[in-house]
């Protein structure tokens, strides 16, 4: 059993003040939320994805308040989300409508519309840039001006790009999903508890909010042999997806804004003994913000958990979904810092009694 701790309020308040002092005790100016939102964009995107709410301003605030602890900031953002009223649900959208800023394929060199590298540091050496140490406002502005002036005169990107995996579908080389009649009803995992086996829509919802490192660890185990998925990225997209809701007065779809998302479709070989013609299978991942590692890991685990007979942890849907939920796992881990006086004293008494009985 646990024991309730009485008193200590003053100590707790002082500890909170000490944590705040730790953030402001230096000589530097306070970090503005605009700086976090605009310059630490990948951290902000990760907090939004794991917090399950798209709001860069609140994500930046959570990062500042938690001194950069991404998990704690995600926890804070998700807790805030539970206090807000829910007015409705957005309408399903085809991600072909995405306004792409980055689009690559590892499966084909030449793809319809071309490869769009977009903003990424993937192709650079991981070397420290010491020019950032002395970066000041004039220098920052000069750097920005230089970057903009050096951009080539190119035509703007098209509004839409065709899907790479459709090339395989047209040849019948890719597994096709079941019909709409076979699809289970959609479940909102923020309102209903997960039940296993969970429908794919619920599993994808859960992984979209899962902790990036947890997804990566399990996906990596599958990639390197503790599973059957060796993925090829059919298409990876980063861009802005329009959000539509139903107008309550006209019952017509209305566009209310855009959200930045990362989408990944991985292609994997199927290995079965059926008499059907062999086809590739597809794994899918989509998360809020720019987080390519998460989207790829999610797609790998989506494919892995479709195994009919799980043989390794990364193929077991219940294992994957329950152990990649970062907020819950962090809370369970950190609850061990709370007083466990009664349970430990009980274990201590049993150990002492056992030693006495053995020595007598």
**Which range is least confidently modeled, 60-64, 262-266, 342-346?**
342-346
Confidence band, pLDDT 50/70/90 cuts, at residue 279 = confident
Confidence band, pLDDT 50/70/90 cuts, at residue 179 = very low
For residue 294, the tally of other CB atoms under 10 A from its CB is: 30
Q: What is the DSSP string of 223-281?
A: HTTSSS---EEEEEEEEEEEEEEE-TTT--EEEEEEEEEEEEEEEEE-----SSPP-EE
State mean pLDDT over 61-89.
93
Residue 327 or residue 150, greater confidence: 327
Q: Of 37-41, 81-85, 339-343, where does the model show the most confidence?
A: 37-41
For residue 310, the tally of other CB atoms under 10 A from its CB is: 17
Rounded CA separation 215/295 (Å): 9
State mean pLDDT over 275-292.
90
Sheet containing 232-246, strands listed edge to edge, beginning at the edge strand earlier in sequence? 99-104, 232-246, 253-269, 280-288
Helix intervals (H) in the chain: 9-24, 33-39, 41-51, 56-65, 70-81, 137-150, 165-170, 200-208, 212-223, 292-304, 317-323, 326-334, 341-359
Q: Is the per-residue pLDDT at 181 higher than 60? A: no
State mean pLDDT over 17-29.
85
Task: Report pLDDT for 180.
Answer: 45
**Which range is least confidently modeled, 12-16, 131-135, 162-166, 339-343?**
131-135
Alpha-carbon torsion, ordered 48, 240, 142, 129, to 10 deg: 50
Task: Report pLDDT for 77.
Answer: 95
Averaged pLDDT score across all residues of the chain: 89
Confidence band, pLDDT 50/70/90 cuts, at residue 257 = very high
How do residues 135-155 score in pLDDT, each as one tens digit?
A: 777 767 777 777 777 666 667
Rounded CA separation 49/188 (Å): 16
Task: Report pLDDT for 271.
Answer: 57
End-to-end CA gap in the chain: 30
How do residues 209-253 score in pLDDT, each as one tens digit?
A: 999 999 999 999 999 989 888 899 999 999 999 999 999 899 999
Rounded CA separation 238/95 (Å): 11
**Which range is least confidently modeled, 18-22, 33-37, 343-347?**
18-22
Paired tokens of 59? 């994500």
Residue 127 or residue 360, greater confidence: 127
Residue 7 or residue 218, greater confidence: 218
Rounded CA separation 97/242 (Å): 7
How many Cα atoms sit within 13 Å of 296 on the Cβ side?
20
Please choose, from the candidates 321, 316, 295, 298, the residue with its C-alpha nearest in 3D space to the C-alpha of residue 306: 316
Confidence band, pLDDT 50/70/90 cuts, at residue 46 = very high
State mean pLDDT over 295-306.
96
Task: Report pLDDT for 62.
Answer: 97
User: Which residues neighbour 179 within 8 Å (Cβ) at sequence distance 6 or greater?
Assistant: none
In the numeric block, the tokens 């957005």 are attached to 90
State mean pLDDT over 307-334.
94
């Amino acid at each position: 059993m646990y024991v309730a701790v009485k008193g200590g309020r003053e100590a707790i308040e002082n500890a909170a003040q000490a944590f705040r002092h730790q953030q402001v005790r230096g000589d530097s100016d306070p970090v503005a939320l605009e700086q976090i939102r605009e310059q630490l964009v990948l951290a902000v995107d990760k907090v939004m994805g794991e917090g399950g709410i798209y709001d860069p301003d609140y994500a930046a605030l959570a990062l500042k308040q938690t001194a950069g602890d991404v998990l704690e900031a995600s926890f804070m953002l998700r807790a805030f989300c539970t206090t807000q009223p829910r007015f409705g649900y957005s309408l399903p959208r085809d991600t072909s409508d995405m306004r792409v800023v980055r689009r690559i394929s590892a499966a084909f060199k030449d793809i319809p519309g071309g490869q769009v590298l977009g903003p990424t540091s993937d192709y650079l050496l991981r070397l420290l840039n010491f020019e950032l140490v002395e970066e000041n406002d004039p220098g920052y502005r000069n750097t920005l001006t230089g970057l903009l002036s050096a951009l080539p005169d190119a035509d703007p990107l098209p509004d839409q790009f065709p899907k790479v995996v459709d090339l395989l579908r047209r040849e019948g080389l890719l597994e096709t999903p079941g019909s709409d009649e076979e699809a289970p009803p959609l479940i909102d995992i923020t309102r209903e508890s997960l039940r296993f086996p969970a429908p794919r829509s619920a599993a994808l919802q859960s992984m979209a909010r899962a902790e990036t490192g947890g997804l990566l660890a399990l996906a990596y185990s599958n990639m390197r042999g503790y599973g059957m998925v060796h993925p090829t990225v059919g298409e990876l997209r980063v861009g802005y997806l329009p959000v539509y809701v139903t107008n309550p007065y006209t019952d017509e779809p209305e566009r209310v804004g855009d959200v930045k998302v990362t989408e990944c479709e991985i292609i994997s070989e199927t290995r079965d003994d059926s008499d059907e013609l062999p086809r590739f299978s597809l794994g899918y991942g989509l998360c809020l913000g720019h987080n390519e590692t998460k989207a790829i890991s999610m797609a790998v685990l989506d494919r892995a958990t479709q195994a009919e007979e799980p043989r390794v942890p990364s193929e077991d849907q219940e294992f994957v979904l329950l152990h990649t939920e970062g907020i819950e796992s962090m809370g369970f881990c950190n609850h061990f810092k709370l007083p466990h006086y009664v349970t430990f004293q009980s274990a201590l008494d049993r150990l002492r009694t056992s030693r006495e009985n053995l020595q007598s």
